[in-house]
Structure 1
Amino acid sequence: MSRQVVRSSKFRHVFGQPAKADQCYEDVRVSQTTWDSGFCAVNPKFVALICEASGGGAFLVLPLSKVWEIPDGGLVVPLREPVVTLEGHTKRVGIVAWHPTAQNVLLSAGCDNVILVWDVGTGAAVLTLGPDVHPDTIYSVDWSRDGGLICTSCRDKRVRIIEPRKGTIVAEKDRPHEGTRPVHAVFVSEGKILTTGFSRMSERQVALWDTKHLDEPLSLQELDTSSGVLLPFFDPDTNIVYLCGK
């Protein structure tokens, strides 16, 4: 008599549950721009999201507790003037990412195929990665956990590992996924990267790579045949990757 063996996994009991209506915001008109983005940023107290507005550029900051005051000696009047304006891109900016360990260091990537690293305290760009590094549209940029490297995915079908201080490409992988749809890449634990993309038959895929050996993936899984691009988000506290699709 055979006995069925259930594979042990710490992800077996990870489930999501929708919040109750009194803990939700309704009728929030999220931007309809076609840029593949999460359109929001969240910390333990607030959620900020890009909303639909004439001219673009508008966003909302909503308290998670739904109490319309900011505690801990925070804001007492609306912010109407920026603390600093960062000017350097020649076309629309679509990606921004704070450095994970250094204070006041911000990365931005735009439709001009340029990545800039800013000192927000002075408003100056301290590093420029120009179109010679990314000859086409930049789909994603992510800092490593210690901020020593960045990984990027580009429309030229390459994923690059870059050392930003020197502006040099440490490693790159051509066509991590065979499909023509956008690829996104994020750093995960132990210096590895995870990519999402599509197979040649338009199946959605997720792959795990060792940054020191990008010839073949450590793991490659086909998920489904949905057409939506998957956006990966890594939570270092739980060591879980969340895949979000529109």
Structure 2
Amino acid sequence: MEKTTFGPFKGHTDGILCLAYSPDGAFLATGSDDNMIRIWETSTGLQNGEVLKGHTSHIHAIDYSPDGQHLVSGSHDHSIRVWDTNTHQTIMGPLKCHNLVHSVKYSPDGAFIASGDHDGLKLWAAHTGNSVATYVHPRRINSVSFSPSGEHVATACRDRFIRIFTLNVSGLELSREISGHTSSVTSIQYSPDGSVIASASEDYTISLWNSHSGERIRDPLHHNGGHEWIWAIDISRIDSLASGAEDGIICIWDLQCEDTITKRLFGHDGRVRAVKFTPDSTRLVSGGDDETIRVWDVQSGASLQVWNPHDRPVVALSISSDGSRLASGSGPYGSYYSTTRVWDVNSYEAIGGPLQHDYSVLSVCLSPDGSKVLSGSDVGAVRLWDISRGEQDFIFKHEEPAKSVQFSLDGSRFLSASEGGRVCVWSASTRELHRTMHHGSSVGSAAFSPDGISIMSGTKKGDARLWDVSSGSLLLPQVECHAVHSCQN
């Protein structure tokens, strides 16, 4: 199928490190190496408003608030900022961290921002920017995930452990420590109903755990013989799990049946870096080192579409909440040129032109309405793009790579987290920095809670924190566990 493009539209001057859809899918946010965030309108591919400026180093993470009004970004400048997605101004921050911020996420309720850095996990009050809790980890935090209810946070650590924390008035309470992997745990995710936790590890396995008891539900899943690193996992709403590995093979698992691989998808030449189910669970989108994006029919395993939009490895994918739009970001880390693109999931046609960066995109996130996109790059740039205009509305530059960017679920705020140890929360409407939460080391990931009130963050050194977005204060004391690379609302 011939692709329709609008542009190209110039944007980032460095690589895109992260991207995030707004909750309504109308916007895609990208964070870049150029220290800026741009938001794009997914309907047109044009940049929305001004560039989000403020970070002084690479932006590694961005995330939208649940209402889509704010965007949080994390950067290598050791700070987190919260932006107003309408004004593109910083409304909170910089929230100072003690190390490079790798990930930021709003909690499902939007009350907290979670950030991950080299020190561990941090939790911020989303409305204040106050540091609520910190949990120092013995090793780097690779991934953090909020439970759908927002009551628990799970972390995946380089020390081979999974830790589950309960959020309460006294702080982050370590409720369970799960062992079983024999090497670094690289990725973690709750199932949509919160009953199961899936984890992937450098021991070449995927494990499924009862989120309440911590018991392994079944024997480890060995991806294609158990000799390949697993780079990406995603869980559908119908109890299927997709895994992408070093060998380029994607496996789809039936979580209700013991050790059952229902499909093996062949097509990628090289490692699969990202996999995402559409919200209706009928299709799977994948991206990899072969520079292609592929769409698969989950039931038949048939390849529905293949295209090469970036001329670079595809390292990040984000699907809007209504399933109509797909955002992709290219890299890999350290690349001197990369782009963010937005696609119509049904027609596979491009929405707008390539949003260009000079360095790797580490994270992307679409706004809830799909009109803007956040990006974070390995030179610390957090950018907010208006997709309809293909222009950036806002840019902020962390001093260090921006590992994670995310909109809150309501789209009112977004966050960014950097290797510099800062998680920043921004107003999505004003683009003003709302709050900056500071870690002691690099933040690997951060996420908003579903209500946008809090943020969970984690670091590579194993420090997990829960923050109040309004005050920037810690809602829970510092929690020590494992390195955080990813947080999820």
Q: What CA deviation, in whole Å up to 9, does each residue of 1:132-172 have, x standing for no partner?
A: 32221101000111111111112111111111111111111
Q: How does 1:190-229 map to 2 (within 5 A)?
A: 191-197=324-330, 202-214=336-348, 216-222=350-356, 224-225=357-358, 227-229=359-361
More displaced, 184-193 or 144-153?
Answer: 184-193
Instruction: Write the letter of the residue equivalent to 2:233.
Output: V
Change (3 A) 1:190 1:51: closer
- Kept in 1, the 8 Å contact 2:272–2:286? The answer is yes
**Secondary structure of the corresponding residue to residue 193 of structure 1:** strand
Instruction: Write the letter of the residue equivalent to 1:172.
Output: V
Instruction: Write the letter of the residue equivalent to 1:129.
Output: R
CA–CA distance in structure 1, aligned partners of residues 261 and 337 of structure 2: 40
Give structure 1 stretches of 5+ with no counterpart.
1-5, 33-37
Aligned-residue offset at 1:21? 5.6
Q: Which of 78, 83, 94 is residue 231 of structure 2 equivalent to?
A: 94
CA–CA distance in structure 1, aligned partners of residues 133 and 173 of structure 2: 14
Change (3 A) 1:218 1:126: same
CA–CA distance in structure 2, aligned partners of residues 191 and 30 of structure 1: 38
Aligned-residue offset at 1:193? 1.3
Q: How does 1:32-43 map to 2 (within 5 A)?
A: 39-43=143-147
- Kept in 2, the 8 Å contact 1:84–1:120? The answer is no
Instruction: Write the letter of the residue equivalent to 1:97.
Output: D
CA–CA distance in structure 2, aligned partners of residues 60 and 183 of structure 1: 26
Change (3 A) 1:25 1:237: farther
Counterpart in 2 of 1:62?
Answer: 165
Tell which structure's C-alpha radius of gyration is larger: 1
Q: How does 1:52-201 map to 2 (within 5 A)?
A: 52-53=158-159, 57-65=160-168, 66-68=171-173, 79=214, 81-89=215-223, 90=225, 91-99=228-236, 101-102=237-238, 104-130=239-265, 132-174=266-308, 176-178=309-311, 180-188=312-320, 189=322, 191-197=324-330
Change (3 A) 1:181 1:111: closer
Counterpart in 2 of 1:35?
Answer: none
**Secondary structure of the corresponding residue to residue 133 of structure 1:** coil
- Kept in 2, the 8 Å contact 1:182–1:229? The answer is no
Root-mean-square deviation (Å): 3.7
**1:46 is the counterpart of 2:152:** yes
Give structure 2 stretches of 5+ with no counterpart.
1-47, 51-68, 70-84, 96-123, 176-194, 196-209, 377-401, 404-489
Counterpart in 2 of 1:231?
Answer: 363
Aligned-residue offset at 1:207? 1.2
Instruction: Write the letter of the residue equivalent to 1:230.
Output: L
Give the number of equivalent residue pairs: 220
Q: Say which structure, 1 or 2, has more relative contact order (CA 8 Å, 6+ apart).
A: 2
CA–CA distance in structure 2, aligned partners of residues 215 and 68 of structure 1: 47
More displaced, 20-29 or 235-244?
Answer: 235-244
**Higher fraction of strand:** 2
Aligned-residue offset at 1:239? 7.2
CA–CA distance in structure 1, aligned partners of residues 331 and 261 of structure 2: 35
